[in-house]
Chain A
Amino acid sequence: MEKRKLKICLIDDSATDREIAAESIKSVEEFDAEVVMASTAMEGLQKLAQDRFDLVIVDYKMPGLSGIDFMNKFKERGIDTPVIMATGAGDEKIAVEVMRAGAYDYVIKDEAFRGAMSLVIKRTLERYEVKKERERLQAQTREYAEKLKKTNEELRKISQMKSHFVSVVSHELRTPLSIIKEGVSLVLDEIPGKINEKQNKILKTAGESINRLTRIIDGLLDISKIEAHKVELKRGLVNITDLVKEACAPFKTQAKERGLELKLNLPQQRLDVYADADKIAQVFTNLIGNALKFTKKGYIEISAKQLEDGVECAVSDTGIGISQDNLPKLFKKFEQFARVAGAGEKGTGLGLSIAKGIVRMHGGKIWVQSQLNKGTKISFILPKDIRKR
């Protein structure tokens, strides 16, 4: 096995003691030790200033500057080398003094000196290595903590920017849009003067796009807020049966005009969940609106049933369905892969993403079953009491 190279500074006023110590050190098999000697504390300090040592062994009792004095000066200079103090007496008080002064260990100059020296050197070097490793880990931890602090600060700034963005966009886009809408509306209503049929048609088309743009902006803002976790749920006890009936109401006319049946499959007893009523209403609105868009004949059915720990709701239709390939994309933003949509409002590509976001915020889950040309069923579960999460 390769011997470990060590450079040791040995400080002792007694030449004999120095020889004995040096011999003891050199006899340790594991080490290939180079021993540099000094006969006084000051000489030792000089040697330490000139070169890098792995270890210092200093005598406790020396004329002039003692071993303890040496330790004090040593510490002042901030030298990072472990020190072993060699003491002539096995007095416990000396041992305490020595350790307090900053020595790693001490060795007693008696018959057992030789054997003890080997043990103490090994022990000291081990302790020193452990200390260095701990210091390294502490420095690394401090570094990581600093980085974490900076990253958190950056994330906080980004979050603030997102909120600001959402509110600015809301105002900046809606203001000109409201001017365009009212402008088109005034002309269509012939308030500034009569218009002909062609002009009427053109403006009606423009009006529909204005409405669509408004829905897209609303959708974008909703999904931005959901993704930025800026949505606060206003939770309360919600009667799902009532909520479903309310959510369906606006779609009745459209369904009737297109010859589609709007069915409700709700239980007799009360179905309650602890949720944000407005947001759940939005989920139903988005799902029903979507179902209507992609159904040409048949029906759309909205159902709800009590589960042990929540309520399961579903909106199913007899529409064009979704292929297995496209199913995973269903809840993604802006994926409008069905080329043949039915009549009615053009979508924003965000309705299902928003529905998913809302269901998830309630601790629930949403999923889809579908068959091409047969129909689609989108189901979601709302846990009974999200306070228990």
Chain B
Amino acid sequence: MRKRILLVDDEKDFVKLVKQRLQANGYKVLVAYNGDQGLKMAKKRPDLIILDIMMPTLSGIELCQLLKEDPGLKNIPVIFLTCKGTKEDERRGLAAGADEYVAKPFVSEELLDKINKVLEAKGK
């Protein structure tokens, strides 16, 4: 069965392109354009959630923390895909509970590798 990835990012054009990439690599893609929508869509229990950080109202970091607090959702792996690209930002992201961190602009191979890695780890 195809793995489902939830993509949460307020930049619609970006979401369109990444969705194409993910679909071309065999994933089913759910989208949300802000933190609140993301939280709702997460209840559909995707296999992986890719989060932007800088979003209005609810940031990616806050959303990640909420997901990790929810017993039903905390085991869904999270990858941050964000413009915040310093090592310090990465540390903060991982500390919030994310499994991987990718900075924008991103290299598609890096993102796909990390998705693979995280899904494999979850499978075990």
Chain A interface residues (CB < 8 Å from chain B): 170-171, 174-175, 177-183, 185-186, 189, 191-192, 210, 214, 218, 234, 278
CB distance B54 to A182 under 8 Å? Answer: no
CB distance B105 to A182 under 8 Å? Answer: yes
CB distance A177 to B105 under 8 Å? Answer: yes
B116 interfacial by beta-carbon distance below 8 Å: no
Residue from B17, B24, B104 within 8 A of A174 (CB atoms): B104
**Cβ-closest chain B residue relative to A222:** B86
**Sample of 17 further A-B pairs with CB below 8 A, known A170-B84, A185-B108:** A170-B85, A171-B54, A171-B83, A174-B83, A174-B104, A175-B14, A178-B14, A179-B11, A180-B105, A182-B14, A182-B105, A182-B108, A186-B17, A186-B20, A189-B24, A191-B20, A214-B105
CA A177 to CA B106, docked complex, whole Å: 10
Q: Within 8 Å CB of A185, what residues of B?
A: 21, 108
CA A174 to CA B86, docked complex, whole Å: 13
CB distance A174 to B108 under 8 Å? Answer: no
In angstroms, how far is the closest chain A Cβ from the Cβ of B95? Answer: 14
Count residues of chain B with CB under 8 A from any CB of chain A.
18
**Chain B 16-53 interface 0/1 with A at a Cβ cutoff of 8 Å (1 = within):** 01101100100000000000000000000000000000
CA A174 to CA B17, docked complex, whole Å: 15
Sort A-B residue pairs by CB-CB distance and give the 8 closest, nearest first. Answer: A178-B104, A178-B105, A174-B83, A181-B105, A182-B17, A191-B24, A171-B83, A177-B105
In angstroms, how far is the closest chain A Cβ from the Cβ of B92? Answer: 13
In B55-106, the 8 Å CB interface with A consists of: 83-85, 87-88, 104-106
Chain B interface residues (CB < 8 Å from chain A): 11, 13-14, 17-18, 20-21, 24, 54, 83-85, 87-88, 104-106, 108
In angstroms, how far is the closest chain A Cβ from the Cβ of B91? Answer: 9
Q: Within 8 Å CB of A179, what residues of B?
A: 11, 13-14, 17
Q: Within 8 Å CB of B105, what residues of A?
A: 174, 177-178, 180-182, 210, 214
CB distance A170 to B17 under 8 Å? Answer: no
CA A182 to CA B16, docked complex, whole Å: 10
In angstroms, how far is the closest chain A Cβ from the Cβ of B10? Answer: 10
Known: A175-B11, A192-B20. A182 touches B83 (CB 8 A): no
In angstroms, how far is the closest chain A Cβ from the Cβ of B45? Answer: 27
In angstroms, how far is the closest chain B Cβ from the Cβ of A285? Answer: 13
Q: Within 8 Å CB of A177, what residues of B?
A: 104-105
**Cβ-closest chain B residue relative to A281:** B87
In angstroms, how far is the closest chain A Cβ from the Cβ of B94? Answer: 15
**Cβ-closest chain B residue relative to A279:** B87
**Cβ-closest chain A residue relative to B111:** A182
Q: Within 8 Å CB of B84, what residues of A?
A: 170-171
In angstroms, how far is the closest chain B Cβ from the Cβ of A347? Answer: 19
**Cβ-closest chain B residue relative to A188:** B108
Q: Within 8 Å CB of B54, what residues of A?
A: 171
